[in-house]
Each structure stands twice: as C-alpha cells, then as structure tokens.
C-alpha cells in the first residue's frame, strides 16, 4: 500500500445566466444519486473521499463550485474525471467561458486545472490515509470485533490475560490471507513532511519576530482602525429565514457526516482583505503542524475542510465535511475554537459583534449560530465515500492496525485492547 498525499481540490467556474438551466439540471441529476449517476458517478473514482457541488447563484456572476477531497494530486483526479466522465464534466462546465470540451481531454484537463482554487487554509483529518486504506482498516476492526464476540460467547476470554487475548487476535489475523496487508502499516505522515511543516511554521514565527520593529507601528495603527470599524460594522440581528433552514435540514443527518458550505462577501476595504489573508496563512501553518492526528484544535470531527478567498477576493468560501449534527459542529466551534473562527469570519459581512478581531464574535453562541445558518448555502449535491465512519473511528481503526503487530509493553497492550 503506497503512501499517497491527499489533496483538497476545488474547481470554481463562472456560470452565465444562459448556462444556468443546463448546469442546474446536471447538478440535480448528481444530487439524486451522488454515488452512481450519469453525470459524475463519484463512487467510480475510488480516490475520492468526499465531493460536493454548490451552485452559488446571484453572486454576479453565478459560481459553480466543485469540491473534491481526494488521494493524489489535483491533476490526477481531474484527468480521471475527464477521461471517464467527460460527458458529465461537459454538462457541468460546458456553459463556462473558454471551456474546450472533453473531446480534447488534455485541453479540458488544463482548463479545469486553471480553475482550481488553492485553499487559503485547510484541514485533513485522516492525514495520509487513502480511501482504500480507510475502508480496509474499517473491515479489519469489524473482523476483529466479530472474532472477539465469538471468543467471548465461547468463554475463551474468561480468565485470559491481556497478552493472550492480543496473541489470539494476532493469530486470527495471521490465519486470514485476506488480512495479510494488516501485518505492517505505513506511517500517517512521513518524517520529511513533519520536518517541512515545522520548519515553515517556525520560519514564519521567526520572520515575524525579526520584522517586529517595523511591523509594530503598522499593527498598532491597524488595531485602532479595526477597533473603530468593529464598533460600527453592521451585524445580523435575528434568526435566519425559517424556510432556508428547513431546506438545509431536509438534507442533513442521513450519514455519519454532514456537509456545510458557505460563500460570504468579504467586508469592503483593504484592511479586511489583508487581515483575512494573514489569519488564513497563520491558521494553515499551525494546522499543518498541530492537526495531524484527526483533531483540529480540540475538534475531533472534521474530515476535510477549507477556506478560500474566491471570486476576485470578494467572497470567502468555506466547505467542511464533518461528523455528527450541524448543532454539535457549531457547538464545537463555539466552545472550542471561537477565537480562531472569529478571526477569520469577522472579516465577512454581518458577523456578530467582535472585539480586537478574535474576541466575542463566535463566543456569542446564539448570534453566531443564527449567522452561520443564514450564511450557509444549500449543498446541491454531496458524496461521502464512507457514510458510516467518523473521524474518531477512522483514527481508532488505524491505531488498531498499527498496534496489532507492534512491540507493545503492558500498558500499551491494555490501551490497544481498549480500542477493540
């Protein structure tokens, strides 16, 4: 099992008013059956973890946003889409300016690549785990679980020691040739990746420290201007449109995960744009170093998420594939990550009242939840490759595999057995 990097790949295309009906029709066909449809049958592409389509209408121009969270590079997945679902790609992007059509696969792929928007900050929960690996490891856990159920029922576990239970599990796995892959495990992240990510973060911190004498006056002036703006920026007061929320909820809570997308106008002025850019950069650097074991800050439930400044830096895009309900996700935002989220989203319109960029804002739970719902877009089509796997489950499954034949002391053996 080769280790493959994952990519958050988002293709964004302008859609003309004339092209809208055809795009709407194509998106609807995907929406009904995201895994297998005649436009983009996502299940046919086994490197895809999550995918979504958002048709953001009324932005001048309307935007079609195709989110792909995949194993491998953007080029690889886009080439595969053009090669194996060229007609579907045509029906989505055919109305966009300059799209050459999949009859010329190289040109179509190049056009798509040119429309990939790099994330300003992103998070990948299952770092280094391919879709295939996630599926296999889920199967391993299930097989071990059923084996233990049988052992328990037969009485074989009565009076057994931790070491003997582990040995029995190892024997069970060894005896099954279809599980031979589980005898070793590739790293979640390579050493060079870790070193590179740390170097970038510490390098950035060092650069800031060095530049501080120059930066400080700029920061102080910036803070004063920001504080003045914060007092007068309009804020949303009141609940979101009930029909809008109803439409969103109709699509929620079918799988273990849910999807959230928003495209929000960035507040006018250079200051907000610069601040947003810097905050996203900082979050991205920190996320690369700290969020490698499934957790982003204290939030253990995010598979793939990213922010991008799009549409000529006029809008901030956020898309996330997360475990559990919207309520629990927003609850985590409020309880565990309010300052960071406030620092990002307070640069977009109607955000709840803030102080000095990162304070109050999202910590005002009821107002933040109302704002987040009001600003959320309908996800027009959404695909999850593993609808019954949470981020915690995926990480535990990997830990079970990693510990299966590893050298474990007594304490580590107990901890490993507790995962089963």
Partner 1 sequence: MQGLVARAYGQLPYARYLLCAVRDPAAARAWLGQVAPGVSNASRRDEGCGLIVAFTFAGLAAIGLDDDALATFPRPLQEGMVTDHRSRILGDVGPNSPDRWRWGSPGQPAIHVLIAIYAPDEAELEREHSERSAAFAGALSLVADPIDGLLTTTGFEHFGFADGLSQPVIKGWPRRTASVRPPAPPPPAKWEEVNPGEVVLGYADNYGKPARGPTVAAAADPAGILPAPDWASGRRHLGHNGSFLVFRQLAQDVPAFRRFVRSASEASAARGESLSPEKVGAKMVGRWPSGASLVNFPDTDPGHAGTNDFGYHEHDQGGFRCPGGAHVRRSNPRDSSAENPEKSLAATMNHRILRRGRPYGLPLVDPPTQPGEEEGAERGLLFLCLNTDFERQFEFVQHTWMENPFFAGLCDEVDPVVGSQPDGGGTFKIPDRPVRRRLTGVPSFVSTKGGAYLFLPGIRALHYLATLKG
Residue 137 as a binder of partner 1 (CB under 8 A): the answer is no
Q: Which of 246, 312, 409, 411: binder of partner 1 (CB under 8 A)?
A: 246
Of 304 and 322, which CB lies nearer to partner 1 in the complex structure?
Answer: 322
Q: To the nearest 10°, report the CA torsion of 129, 121, 30, 14.
A: -150
Give me the least distance between CB of 405 and partner 1, in Å please: 17
Q: Does 100 sit behind a cis peptide bond, omega within 30 degrees of 0 on the bond before it?
A: no
Residue 249 as a binder of partner 1 (CB under 8 A): the answer is yes
List, in order, residues 6 or more apart from 398 with CB less than 8 Å away.
126, 129, 133, 137, 185, 188
Residue 331 as a binder of partner 1 (CB under 8 A): the answer is yes
Give me the least distance between CB of 65 and partner 1, in Å please: 24
Of 38 and 335, which CB lies nearer to partner 1 in the complex structure?
Answer: 335
φ and ψ of 287, to 5 deg:
-60, -40
Give me the least distance between CB of 2 and partner 1, in Å please: 28
Q: Is the dihedral of CA 306, 309, 311, 315 positive or negative?
A: positive
Residue 171 as a binder of partner 1 (CB under 8 A): the answer is no
Of 90 and 380, which CB lies nearer to partner 1 in the complex structure?
Answer: 380
**What b/e string do you get for 217-237 counting C-beta neighbours within 10 Å, with b at 16 or more?**
eeeeebeeebeeebeebebbe
Q: Can you tell me the distance from the alpha carbon of 273 to that of 262, in angstroms, rounded to the nearest whole number? A: 18
List, in order, residues 6 or more apart from 381 with CB less than 8 Å away.
27, 30, 31, 34, 52, 53
- Of residues 349 through 408, those in contact with partner 1 by CB under 8 A are 363-367, 369, 388, 390, 392-393, 396
φ and ψ of 372, to 5 deg:
-65, -40
Window contacting partner 1 (CB under 8 A); options: 9-17, 103-111, 157-165, 185-193 = 157-165
Residue 250 as a binder of partner 1 (CB under 8 A): the answer is yes
How many residues lie near partner 1 (CB under 8 A)? Answer: 52
Of 38 and 146, which CB lies nearer to partner 1 in the complex structure?
Answer: 146
Q: What is the pattern of x (binds partner 1, CB under 8 A) and - over residues 281-310?
A: -----------------x-x----------
Q: Can you tell me the distance from the alpha carbon of 112 to that of 143, in angstroms, rounded to the nearest whole number? A: 41
Residue 242 as a binder of partner 1 (CB under 8 A): the answer is yes
Give me the least distance between CB of 149 and partner 1, in Å please: 6
φ and ψ of 185, to 5 deg:
-145, 135
Of 87 and 366, which CB lies nearer to partner 1 in the complex structure?
Answer: 366
| The pair of three-digit structure tokens given for residue 324, joined into one six-digit string | 């559990």
What count of other Cβ atoms lies within 10 Å of the Cβ of residue 112? 24
CA angle 116, 119, 120 (to 5 degrees): 135
Q: Which of 21, 227, 327, 406: binder of partner 1 (CB under 8 A)?
A: 327
How close are the terminal C-alpha atoms of the chain, in Å?
23
Of 94 and 324, which CB lies nearer to partner 1 in the complex structure?
Answer: 324
Residue 420 as a binder of partner 1 (CB under 8 A): the answer is yes
Window contacting partner 1 (CB under 8 A); options: 89-97, 110-118, 160-168, 228-236 = 160-168
Burial of 22 (C-beta count, 10 Å sphere; 0-12/13-18/19+): middle
Q: Can you tell me the distance from the alpha carbon of 144 to that of 128, in angstroms, rounded to the nearest whole number? A: 23
Give me the least distance between CB of 31 and partner 1, in Å please: 17
Residue 417 as a binder of partner 1 (CB under 8 A): the answer is yes
Q: Is the dihedral of CA 363, 364, 368, 369 positive or negative?
A: positive
Q: Which of 152, 208, 228, 412: binder of partner 1 (CB under 8 A)?
A: 152
Cα radius of gyration rounded to whole Å, the chain: 24
Question: Where do contacts with partner 1 occur on this chain (CB under 8 A)?
Answer: 141, 145, 148-149, 152-155, 157-158, 160-162, 164-165, 239, 242, 245-246, 249-250, 252-254, 256, 298, 300, 323-325, 327-328, 331-332, 334-336, 363-367, 369, 388, 390, 392-393, 396, 414, 417-418, 420
């Amino acid at each position: 099992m080769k280790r493959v990097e994952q990519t958050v790949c988002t293709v964004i295309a302008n859609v003309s008013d004339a092209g809208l009906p055809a795009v709407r029709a194509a998106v609807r066909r995907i929406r009904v059956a995201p895994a297998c449809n005649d436009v983009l049958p996502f299940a046919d592409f086994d490197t895809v973890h999550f995918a979504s389509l958002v048709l953001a209408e009324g932005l001048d121009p309307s935007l079609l946003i195709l989110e792909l969270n995949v194993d491998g590079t953007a080029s690889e997945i886009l080439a595969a889409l053009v090669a194996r679902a060229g007609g579907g790609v045509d029906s989505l992007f055919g109305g966009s300016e300059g799209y050459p059509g999949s009859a010329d696969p190289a040109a179509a792929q190049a056009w798509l690549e040119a429309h990939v928007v790099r994330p300003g900050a992103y998070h990948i929960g299952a770092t280094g785990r391919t879709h295939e690996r996630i599926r296999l490891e889920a199967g391993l856990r299930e097989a071990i679980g059923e084996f233990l159920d049988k052992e328990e029922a037969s009485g074989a576990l009565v009076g057994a020691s931790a070491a003997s239970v582990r040995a029995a599990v190892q024997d069970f796995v060894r005896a099954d040739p279809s599980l031979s892959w589980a005898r070793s495990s590739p790293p979640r992240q390579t050493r060079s990746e870790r070193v590179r990510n740390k170097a970038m973060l510490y390098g950035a911190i060092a650069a800031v420290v060095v530049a501080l004498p120059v930066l400080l006056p700029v920061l102080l002036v910036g803070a004063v201007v920001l504080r003045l703006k914060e007092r007068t920026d309009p804020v949303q007061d009141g609940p979101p449109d009930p029909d809008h929320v109803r439409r969103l909820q109709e699509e929620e809570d079918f799988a273990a995960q849910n999807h959230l997308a928003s495209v929000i106008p960035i507040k006018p002025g250079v200051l907000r744009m610069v601040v947003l850019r810097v905050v996203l950069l900082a979050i991205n650097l920190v996320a690369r170093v700290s969020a490698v074991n499934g957790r982003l800050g204290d939030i253990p439930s995010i598979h793939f998420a990213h922010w991008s400044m799009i549409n000529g830096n006029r809008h901030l895009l956020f898309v996330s594939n997360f475990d559990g309900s919207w309520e629990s996700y927003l609850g985590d935002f409020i309880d565990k990550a309010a300052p960071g989220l406030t620092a990002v989203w307070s640069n977009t319109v109607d955000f709840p009242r803030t102080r000095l960029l990162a304070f109050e804002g999202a910590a005002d739970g009821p107002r933040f939840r109302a704002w987040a719902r009001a600003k959320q877009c309908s996800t027009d089509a959404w695909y999850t490759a593993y609808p019954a796997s949470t981020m915690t489950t995926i990480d535990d499954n990997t830990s079970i595999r990693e510990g299966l034949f590893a050298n474990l002391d007594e304490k580590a053996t107990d901890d490993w057995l507790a995962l089963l």
